[in-house]
Amino acid sequence: MSSAAIIDGKSFAAALRGRIAASVPEFIAQSGRKPGLAVVLVGDDPASQVYVGSKKKATVEAGMDSFEYRLPEDTAQADLISLVERLNADDHVDGILVQLPLPPHMDDKAVIAALDPAKDVDGFHVVNAGRLAVGEDAFVPCTPLGCLMLLKDRIGDLSGKNAVVIGRSNIVGKPMAQLLLAENCTVTIAHSRTQDLAEVVRRADIIVAAVGRAEMVRGDWIKQGAVVIDVGINRLAPAPGETKGRLVGDVAFAEAVAHSAAITPVPGGVGPMTIACLLRNTLVAAHRRAGLAHPEGF
């Protein structure tokens, strides 16, 4: 048995961010302004605070304007929607992102529905989901877009491959399946009610695990030579003597390396691609809103 290549999402994302930053000055020269991204965080979820901080840093480093809104946990949904509507109307804002999860008293769907689809750089609005489903130009959610970039970089043409997506969320599983279908893969979407998941996974050339259960996909489920993309970010309970538990994915990594041809690690695989693709979507949104051609190279 050979050992898998480790797909370095961190380096891939850094290179993508570099290309985006290099193309921002041309946008500024053509439009007379910087691309702008507004990020809205409601409440004080510690992980969300870190992600929002990273998004701001990456946006500024790419030469874009970052507008950050941190609202208290008890914000009324109507007030959040009013803010989204103000950002929809603000010409300096090309992209709007409402960090998820929202507090329990809010309805994600109602908040996302308030976004202008042309500024929905998360690709969560039903207009963008529908466009993706019918093969029209759409903003594609950042995590599955990042997964697809890594897969195409590793495999090249995906046509005819058997792909299994484990997880059916609107944010990852469903758009991932649509993207793979658009690349002419034969796609199976597996989920918590799938019978004999191990057997379904064993048929796959491409496995995308996005189920949110630590190390659920075992090494002996993986066909020799498959490419594995692990979207899960799960923190284990701290081991004795540790203050923080280890981060692991949805795939039992140490087992999977013996079976797969290539695999993304956690951390350092898919995660960094999410923010790089957010910058990519923001740059595309800025070009569209300014009436400029789609930027090259992304």
Ligand X SMILES: Nc1nc2c(c(=O)[nH]1)N[C@@H](CN(C=O)c1ccc(C(=O)N[C@@H](CCC(=O)O)C(=O)O)cc1)CN2
Q: Out of 51, 69, 139, 221, name the contact with ligand X by CB under 6 A.
A: 51
Q: Does 6 bind ligand X (CB under 6 A)?
A: no
How far apart are alpha carbons 56 and 63 in whole angstroms? 11
Q: Does 175 bind ligand X (CB under 6 A)?
A: no
Q: Out of 42, 272, 283, 285, name the contact with ligand X by CB under 6 A.
A: 272
Residues between 76 and 135 that touch ligand X (CB under 6 A): 97-100, 122
H or E element at residue 6: strand 5-6
Q: Does 268 bind ligand X (CB under 6 A)?
A: yes
How far apart are alpha carbons 243 and 239 in whole angstroms? 8
Can you read off the two tokens belonging to residue 223?
A: 């066909």
Is 99 or 260 the residue whose CB approaches ligand X more closely? 99
Residues between 128 and 157 that touch ligand X (CB under 6 A): 142-143
Query: Which residue has tokens 């990273």?
Result: 54
Shortest distance, CB of residue 151 to ligand X, whole angstroms? 17
Can you read off the two tokens belonging to residue 287?
A: 């070009």
Give the residue numbers annotated as catalytic, written as ranges.
Answer: 55, 99, 122
Is 47 or 254 the residue whose CB approaches ligand X more closely? 47
CA proximity to 274, closest of 186, 175, 134, 206? 175
CA proximity to 77, closest of 49, 50, 109, 53? 109
Is 167 or 272 the residue whose CB approaches ligand X more closely? 272
Neighbours of 32 (CB within 10 A): 8
Q: Which residues are annotated as a binding site for NADP(+)?
A: 167-169, 233
List contacts with ligand X (CB under 6 A): 51, 97-100, 122, 142-143, 233, 247, 266-268, 271-272, 274-275
